């Protein structure tokens, strides 16, 4: 999909289709040219409501108010609505809520790309997307005079962000037979080669040498050997150093604590955290952000077999802590424990974030569409929540407390891999991970449980059925803001 910015008024631009956004149900605005027809067909201008007037080659979509979140979902809905048509080009005016801020333009671009996404790798008949060209006029809804250079930067960043999100979606949606740990490592190596990143991949011998015994135990019963991936973006004179850690369970059967069959379906999505780290690293390199960013991924498959790790085992993590295993389906935290330790060993960071589809308890607590943010300090948690709002993602804090932490106590080891209560499972999982954060990073770390939004089996907002690419947009907004704050 190609984008073009122009100073030409919207009525002077030639295209096959025009998209008009009806804001606040304002049908009196001069952009709305078909008031009688819209009334005749019952178009009310509600948020994300669309109406295609084929005879006029105009597509209308409603927003409750002009802001990034509303415009992003409205444009995504509109572009999905013309997926079966023959329109090859589209023109649209600019819609801003501030004369100096171009964030809504970026959201619009993201909406076009995210809404046009489809995953048809395994279908005999492929999707046909005829829309190739989007022309955006700087003629603005309120009459604001817009800065072409600022708008071009927003368009470029929006395009990079959305394409990185779709890149992540593709990895998550790929089946476990086609995307296992070695394949994730190959994806990382190809990304590094194409985008000027450095890449280091640890295989079982190196993992053994690094004493990543909990990760290796999870991987033991799979025919696919594990990998730990380290991607780096290292500009000169970075304004900050940020470490990202992703859970990359390419498939999770639950191990000997086998999942029920209904819960095993969609477990290809358990690599969403690691996939998000890959997508973020792609975008960071393409934006060439002046932040040193390190992405670590624990790529593992959790299967059953004669060599599977077992409930009642006691494992020793990289930092020497012993872990009593009471449930082999609480495996992601075991993988992250070792990778977090390794990441801190390799990099002293200003911030460290981990991304994981870690708990069903997070989905129960905050729903399908929201990420749960946890940690010891408010600064990294609040920064991520602020970034999520500008990115159009939903996130909320879940606070640690000392009473829930007691539920992880083991009588035979330093800690148990699950709590002794069925309640507060998202928080106790986060508190388990806290045991593997060293003193230097205690106040710099936040855990992001993306189990809810990472993979949903229906369309919602700008997101398709399946993988959403959760975490990519919010982290990019955080990193971009960091470039302006750090000296």
Task: Report yes or no: 454 and 275 within 8 Å, Cβ to Cβ.
Answer: no
Which of these is catalytic: 203, 220, 239, 259? Answer: 259
Question: What token pair was written down for 111?
Answer: 């909406």
Q: For the chain, how many helices (H) and strands (E)? A: 15, 19
**Local structure of 2: helix, strand or coil:** strand
| Residue written as token pair 């590094």 | 192
Q: Could you write out the DSSP letters of every residue in 24-59?
A: TT-TTSTT---HHHHHHHT----BT-EEEETTTTEE
**Choice among 72, 80, 247, 333 that is catalytic:** 333
Question: Angle at the Cα of 381 (from 379 to 383), degrees rounded to 5?
Answer: 65
d(CA 4, CA 24): 27
Measured distance CA(408)–CA(431) in Å, rounded: 9
Report phi then psi at 410, rounded to 5: -115, 145
Looking from the CA of 70 toward its CB, the CA atoms found within 13 Å total 18
CA 83 – CA 476 distance, rounded (Å): 28
Q: Whole-angstrom Cα distance, residue 214 to residue 226?
A: 12
- Neighbour order of strands in the sheet with 314-316: 314-316, 322-324, 415-416
For residue 216, the surrounding DSSP H or E stretch is helix 213-219
Cα 299 to Cα 184: distance, rounded to the nearest angstrom: 7
Sort residue 305 into left (φ over 0), alpha (ψ -120 to 50) or beta: left
440 to 95, 432, 433: CA distances (angstroms): 45, 18, 15
Tell me whether residue 169 is one of the annotated catalytic residues.
no
- The token pair at 260 is 């029920």
Sign of the CA dihedral running 7, 11, 13, 17? positive
To the query of whether residue 333 is one of the catalytic residues in this protein, the response is yes
Cα 395 to the chain's mean position, in Å? 12
**Catalytic sites, residue numbers:** 259, 333
């Amino acid at each position: 999909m190609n984008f073009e910015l122009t100073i030409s008024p919207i009525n002077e631009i030639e295209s096959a289709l025009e998209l008009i956004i009806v804001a606040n149900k304002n049908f009196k605005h001069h952009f709305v040219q078909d008031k009688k027809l819209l009334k005749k067909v019952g178009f009310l201008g509600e948020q994300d409501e669309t109406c295609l007037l084929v005879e006029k080659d105009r597509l209308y979509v409603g927003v409750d108010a002009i802001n990034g979140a509303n415009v992003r979902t409205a444009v995504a809905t509109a572009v999905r609505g013309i997926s079966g048509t023959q329109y090859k080009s589209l023109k649209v005016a600019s819609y801003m809520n501030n004369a100096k801020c171009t964030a809504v333009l970026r959201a619009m671009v993201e909406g076009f790309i995210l809404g046009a996404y489809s995953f048809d790798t395994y279908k005999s008949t492929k999707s046909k997307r005829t829309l190739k060209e989007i022309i955006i006029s700087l003629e603005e809804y309120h009459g604001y005079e817009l800065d072409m250079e600022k708008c071009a930067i927003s368009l470029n960043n929006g395009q990079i962000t959305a394409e990185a999100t779709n890149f992540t979606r593709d990895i998550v949606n790929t089946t476990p037979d086609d995307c296992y740990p070695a394949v994730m490592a190959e994806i990382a190596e190809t990304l590094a080669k194409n985008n000027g990143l450095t890449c280091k991949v640890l295989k079982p011998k190196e993992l053994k040498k690094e004493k990543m015994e909990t990760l290796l135990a999870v991987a033991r019963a799979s025919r696919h050997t594990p990998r730990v991936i380290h991607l780096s973006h290292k500009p000169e004179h970075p304004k900050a150093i940020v470490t990202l850690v992703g859970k990359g369970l390419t498939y999770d059967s639950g191990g000997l604590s086998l999942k029920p069959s209904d819960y095993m379906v969609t477990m290809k999505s358990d690599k969403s955290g690691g996939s998000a780290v890959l997508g973020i690293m792609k975008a960071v390199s393409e934006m060439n952000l002046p932040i040193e960013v390190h992405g670590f991924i624990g790529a593992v498959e959790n299967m059953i077999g004669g060599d599977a790790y077992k409930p009642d085992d006691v494992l020793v993590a990289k930092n020497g802590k012993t872990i009593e295993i009471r449930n082999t389906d609480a495996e992601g935290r075991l993988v992250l424990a070792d990778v977090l330790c390794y990441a801190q060993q390799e990099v002293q960071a200003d911030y460290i974030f981990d991304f994981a589809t870690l708990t069903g308890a997070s989905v129960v607590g905050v729903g399908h569409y929201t990420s749960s943010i946890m940690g010891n300090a408010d600064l990294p948690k609040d920064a991520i929540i602020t970034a999520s709002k500008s990115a159009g993602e939903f996130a909320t804090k879940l606070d640690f407390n000392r009473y829930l932490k007691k539920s992880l106590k083991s009588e035979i080891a330093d800690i148990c891999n699950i709590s002794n209560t069925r309640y507060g499972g998202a928080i106790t999982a986060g508190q388990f991970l806290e045991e593997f954060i060293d003193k230097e990073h205690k106040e710099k770390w936040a855990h992001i449980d993306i189990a809810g939004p990472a993979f949903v089996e229906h369309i919602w907002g700008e997101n398709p059925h399946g993988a959403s690419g959760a975490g990519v947009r919010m982290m990019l907004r955080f990193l971009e803001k960091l470039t302006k704050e750090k000296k």
